[in-house]
Structure 1
Amino acid sequence: MNQQHSPRIEPQRPHLGRVILSIAGALTVLIAAGIAFVQLSSPDESAPTAERTTARTSPASRQIADARASRQNATQSNTVTTIGGGNAVSSGSISGSAPSPPSGTVDSTEPNGESVASTSPSEPVQKIPVVETTEPMTYAEAERLFRERDYAGAAVGFASYVEAHPENVWGHYMEGLSLWKGGDLDAAETALMQALDRNPDHVKSLTNLARVRLEQGRNEQAILPAERAAQRSPEDVEVLRVYARALHASGRPADAALAYSKALQVDPNDVWSLNNLGLLWIEREEFSLALPPLARAAQIDSGIATIQNNLGIALERSGCFHAATEAYARALSADSTYAKAVDNKGRAEALIVTQSFPDPDLAELAASFDPNADIAALPRSRTAATAELESVESKPTSTLVPRDGAGSELESAVAESQTPIPSKSVDSATKR
């Protein structure tokens, strides 16, 4: 009997190609998921963390930090800029030998010539400013400007000097002197007070503070510094003259005359003390007493227009019209633009025909002057008619005094006085 056999079913086996495809698909999914995860976790593809770190620790930044540490005593603030993602870096003078100047000078390289570090080509960086060092002006440089009569430049120079040397008395004094010469009286007073804060006995600061206040019209306030200067330097004719001027302008003619006389005892040839004393007597209408000091001053220096004009006033008011005309002519020879002398000369010439006595001998008048003459009887106050009169100073541009304690040559100031007497024949002088 034939046996029937059922067909045998072979188990199906997966094809090898399908297996590989399945594995590849799974790997693709995993890779895609990994990439997505990395992208989500990255804060900023355009500025990798490693490059930011490089920017924070760049050689340029370290060099500037080292420079900042070496400038601990710098008096000016540093420039602050921002690099890349916002890291503030202070920049300043790389050299620690001088204060940092004001910010604003920008360069594209560091002092060593290397380019400023950057974070990446895709992230431009602001360049670090390199502040150029500017040394404060030296005393000698500022003094040179003063001697060249660039008083505005000298004032700036000495201001720069005292910023670096705030305790130097002479720097403040010369700043004040430059400001005064330049016409800034208020600033000059401030600078001179700064000098006196550091040395209350600084004679030149006291003397010139008195001058500044006289020019401001603060006559009584000029007395104290002038008096202190005279007490500390009793043999200095310039100091004594300024003290006499302060007394004179404050309505104390007797005290002023004594001070002028003391100055002339120290130096009988001080033409401005002679002139101012003659002015004082003209104010008192004591013309016979005014003639000797004015004649002596004109004899010592015949080329000063103011002195010749004042001598002419004393001669004219004494009735000596011919001699007065000659004095006015000498004033015009010294200064042809002297308008008052022109008017005075014309007036005196017209009166010559009325003169009934000979002219005095000016040489004898000059020789007769005695600085020790008794003036105790002079009244202690001025009359209302002369209340507006005062002696003032001018400064010849060519006169320098010897070096003093600061080692600097200082331009001297000398007193020049002109009297607006009732005839209005004398011009009032200024310090310019």
Structure 2
Amino acid sequence: MATILQPSRAILDLGDAFYDPVAAADFPQTILRFRNDRAAAEVGLNGLSDDDWVRHFGRFAPLPGSLDQPLALRYHGHQFRNYNPDIGDGRGFLFAQVQDGDGRLLDLGTKGSGQTPWSRFGDGRLTLKGGVREVLATEMLQALGVNTSRSFSLIETGEALERGDEPSPTRSAVLVRLSHGHIRIGTFQRLAYLRDAEAMARLVDYVLVNLHDDAPGDPVRLLQNVVAKTARLAASYMAAGFVHGVLNTDNINVTGESFDYGPWRFTPTWDPGHVAAYFDHAGLYAFGRQPEAIHWNAMQLAVSLRTLVDAEPLIAALDTFPDLYQSAVTDALLWRLGVTPRGSAQDRALVQTIEPAMRATETPIDRFFFDAFGGTIPERYGEPFAEARAALANYSARKDRRHPYWSGEPCSMLIDEVETIWSAIDERDDWAPFDAKIAAIRQMGEALA
């Protein structure tokens, strides 16, 4: 049965101290470059004509029954461990809320939609390259089993943007993402900073009820949920070989859903020191430090919740993160290997043989998981994988290799290919490599699912 559009206005229950009404920029052009009908079908919007799609997601005519006006959300955040109280939605806003067929609340939020009270010195815009990169990141992560926002729409907007870190002028775009909420750890930090216990309690209830499908009134329960969800997020990044690049508290969603992709990378090999952001000189958010970074961010949520409750139960909730992460990363790696778990101790022992072998041999991550999917490590991987090969022989495949994907080559998303896809668009306005890559990623997702 087709999903019918079910608009929502739940965010308004928080009150106007949480957001600022804003207007979208009036763009010179609106050229539709990507529409995610797969995601749109989940919320009853896949039947829109291209003209109506552009009217809503390029000109931002309100969706019937949802928000009358876009809202720029207010939050604070630690940015590379430095606290910043002067941030918020500076080039995006919450455009609409909807429910999917299961009644789950989802947000349609923007990136590059114009200036807001939180833009500071920014122009509120998004480069087309940045939009293309976010589409590629979210499609790849979804296929690899990561709980991620979905890139819903990408529309080129006809402005020439000046940027200091890439060739300029460059083309502009506005992106719409479909997310399970846009409430960040930084949203709670702002209320702690303001010492607003009443608003904090209201936010706790909003998240528990609307985003965690839980009962209201229990800040400790909220932290327990966030710790569990973010531990799984960290684990899924590792199994995907993904480096987010900017794991600040304003970029961590309390649903444990990954979002906001700037200088992301996929690491070619299991390299704990691989960084995504050229400005991350200390490697704070390097590949191997992501679990630590996400745990630290969860600690900042606990600090904020001290506005409402004592420290002891919050500390107890935080202390569960390491074990939850170890369990989740084991599950995530076994999922990517395409085998059925046998038991926690046995599964963890298997994973502990694979990671060192991959790191020591600098084996390409995507090639390895492609070859080993279903439970057999080919002999050509040699002696470093002998122990893992023997352990894996005791596992049964969760899915066979009859899908056409397995007859080809592994699908990767390394930086050189991203640049090649962008070059075709930038130099020749050739979107064929981009479209082909999306199709290839989705084929991989079907094979892995």
What TM-score do you get using the length of structure 2 for normalisation? 0.22
**Structure whose residues are more often helix by fraction:** 1
- Computing the radius of gyration over CA atoms, which structure comes out larger, 1 or 2? 1
Q: Select the structure with the greater relative contact order (CA < 8 A; seq sep ≥ 6).
A: 2
Normalized per residue, the structure richer in strand is: 2
TM-score, normalised to structure 1, is: 0.23
